[in-house]
Amino acid sequence: MSSEPQIVGTAIQGRTGQVPAVAGGAFKALLVVLVLLGIVGFGLGLASGQADRAWQAYLVNLLVWLGIAQGGVVLSAAFYLTQGRWLGTTQYRLAEAFVGFIPLGFILFWGLYFGRTLIFPWVLHPIPQKAAWLNTPFLFARDGLGLALMTVLSLALVRLSRGPQAAAWQRDSADIEMPPREMRRTAVALAILFAVVYSLIAFDLVMSLAPQWHSTLFGWYFFGGAFWSAIVATAVSAVVLRARLGAHNAFRNPTVLHDLGKLVFAFSIFWVYLVFSQYIVIWYGNIPVETFFIVHRVYHMPWEAISYAVVILMWVAPFLVLLGVRPKKSPAILGTIACGGLVGVWLERYLLVVPSLSPRAIPFGWVQLLVTLGFLGAFVLCSLPGLNLTAAAALAEPWEEHE
């Protein structure tokens, strides 16, 4: 889906010619197997009377992985708009690496139509006061249109970003000029639309699963979390690429991991601030139509345990561990915290979605596992072209020790 590979800088000696392949044939085969397992698992889930669990797994994973992919492109847009050029072209390739999953995510969104009776409680039991908003045609039309726009804009931004004009700007860090006009406008449109569309997604695909509940901050909270998940995923990619690309790639510069670590640290604090803002308002007001959502997830086992896990993985660990300078620069520590963060994000989306649909027990069996593996495989497969370009950029802007 990504455009033909662009060479930035001097010629690179990769394993397959001019753009290095980050993953070998065996790894790609493994990913394909995971995808197939996911499809099979989903199908078996539908067939064996666990259709509701299958669709829950589908929805949770769609939200997680599409959030990461989209958040990455928005991160690139944010870099453009704040004129961040601390790592030249590599940082932009890194943020945009996951763009390949966005079109797939868009297609998979439509799959939700087929499970709508099992996902959205208001399909079979419509709520009269909210029926003007919560009805199948309108929901799919608005969310579909929103995601379509996001897909088009994301691909446009990444295509522009991989072009020579953008590359020249990205490498010129000693200047105060804004990025080229087309990039600026696309980045602005993308950022604004991200907030609007992903708030809609949050309200429609997550909040409406508990249709009596509402929280004005929910949309912001959701796309804030998606943004953080993208930052964390880029940190993981940076750590992995750093190890795999030899001794002189751009990621070996300790300030790179330091800067990524700072982003992980700062936005994890922002996330917990949004969590606390919702919590304290709902706790203090003590209004039953608002509190049931939180009480169910935070005060009742088994969900209580997951809530604690989510906060620990998404805030406590990153905050305490990444407070100092040296842990941020250590690939092992940053990588572990970032992986933990990804697990936390998955658990958080799970915690938002599933208790509304399956109140009493935690449904996690082989269906959930296989579907998750399938999405993971698909995500990594779609991101491989982007990661290859990132590797190419990192090798083209090598870093020497003692620079």
Partner 1 sequence: MSGPVEIVASFADESGCAGSIEKLRTAKPIAVRVFSPIPSHHIEHAIGKRKSPVRAFVLTGGILGVISALALTIGTSWEWNLVVGGKPIVSWPPFIVIMFELMVLFGGISAVLGFLLNARVPAFEIDAGYSSRFSGDRFGVVVRCEEGDSTRFESILRDAGAEEVGREAA
Partner 2 sequence: MAAAVQEPVAPTFGDIDRSVLRVMEMPGLVYWIWVGFCFALVGIGAALWTRQIYEGLGVTGLRQPVMWAVYITNFVFWVGIAHSGTLISAILFLFRTRWRTAVYRAAETMTLFAVATAGLFPMIHLGRVWNLYWLLPYPNQRYLQPNFRSPLVWDAFAVSTYLTISALFLFMGLIPDVANAREHATGWRRTFYATLALGWRGTDEQWRHFSMAYLLLAGLATPLVLSVHSVVSWDFAMAQLPGWHSTIFAPYFVAGAIFSGVAMVITLLVPMRRWLHIEDLLTPWHFDNLAKVVLLTSLVVTYSYSVETFMAWYSGDKIEQMTFYMRYFGPWGWLFWVMVLCNCLIPLLLFSPRIRVNLTALWIISLFVNVGMWTERFVIIAGSLATNFNPSQWAFFRPSITEIMITAGSFGWFLGLFSLFARFLPIVSMTELKEGIVWLRKSLRKDYSRVA
Pick the binder of partner 2 from 12, 36, 116, 133 (CB under 8 A): 133
Cα–Cα distance between 397 and 85 in angstroms, integer? 13
- Which is nearer to partner 2, 181 or 402 (by Cβ)? 181
Site string for partner 2, 230-269 (x = CB under 8 A): ---------------------------------------x
When CB distances are held under 5 to 8 angstroms depending on the partner's kind, the choice from partner 2, partner 1, none that residue 273 binds is partner 2
One of 29, 280, 320, 325 touching partner 2 (CB under 8 A): 280
Which window, 59-67, 173-181, 330-338, 359-367, contacts partner 2 (CB under 8 A)? Answer: 173-181
Least spacing, CB of residue 318 vs partner 2, in Å: 15
Is the CB of 153 or the CB of 239 nearer to partner 2? 153
The residue among 177 and 284 lying less far from partner 1, judged by its C-beta, is 284
Instruction: Choose the contact partner of 138 out of partner 2, partner 1, none; CB within 5 to 8 A by kind.
Output: none
Q: Please tell me whether residue 288 binds partner 2 under the rule CB under 8 A.
A: no
- Regarding 375 and contact with partner 2 (CB under 8 A), the answer is no
Quick one: what does residue 2 bind among partner 2, partner 1, none, with the CB cut-off 5 to 8 Å set by partner type?
A: none
How buried is residue 107: exposed, middle or buried, by Cβ count under 10 Å (0-12/13-18/19+)?
A: exposed
What span, in angstroms and rounded, lies between the C-alpha atoms of 269 and 163?
Answer: 35
If the CB atoms of residues 264 and 389 are measured against partner 2, the closer one turns out to be: 264
Q: Which stretch binds partner 2 (CB under 8 A): 65-73, 111-119, 276-284, 339-347?
A: 276-284
Residue list 312-341, contact with partner 2 (CB under 8 A): none
Which residues make beta-bridge pairs with 17? 14
125 binds partner 2 (CB under 8 A): no
Q: How many CB atoms are located within 10 Å of the residue 132 CB? A: 8
Identify the residue among 278, 372, 383, 390 touching partner 2 (CB under 8 A). 278
Q: Which is nearer to partner 2, 79 or 346 (CB)?
A: 79
- Cα 188 from chain centroid (whole Å): 19
Give residues in contact with partner 1 (CB under 8 A): 276, 279-280, 283-284, 286
| Residue count (the chain) | 403
Find the shortest distance in angstroms from Cβ 176 to partner 2.
5
Q: Tell me if 285 contacts partner 2 by CB under 8 A.
A: yes
Angle at 204 between CA 265 and CA 42, to 5 degrees: 85
Q: Is 28 exposed, middle or buried (0-12, 13-18, 19+ CB in 10 A)?
A: middle
According to the binding rule CB under 8 A, does residue 145 interact with partner 2? no
* Residue 10 makes contact with partner 2 by CB under 8 A: no
Indicate whether 166 belongs to the interface with partner 2 (CB under 8 A).
no
Whole-angstrom distance, CA of residue 109 vs CA of residue 100: 15
Question: Is residue 272 involved in binding partner 2 (CB under 8 A)?
Answer: no
| Footprint on this chain of partner 2 (rule: CB under 8 A) | 82, 127, 129-130, 133, 174-176, 181, 192, 195-196, 199, 203, 214-220, 269, 273-274, 277-278, 280-282, 284-285, 287, 289
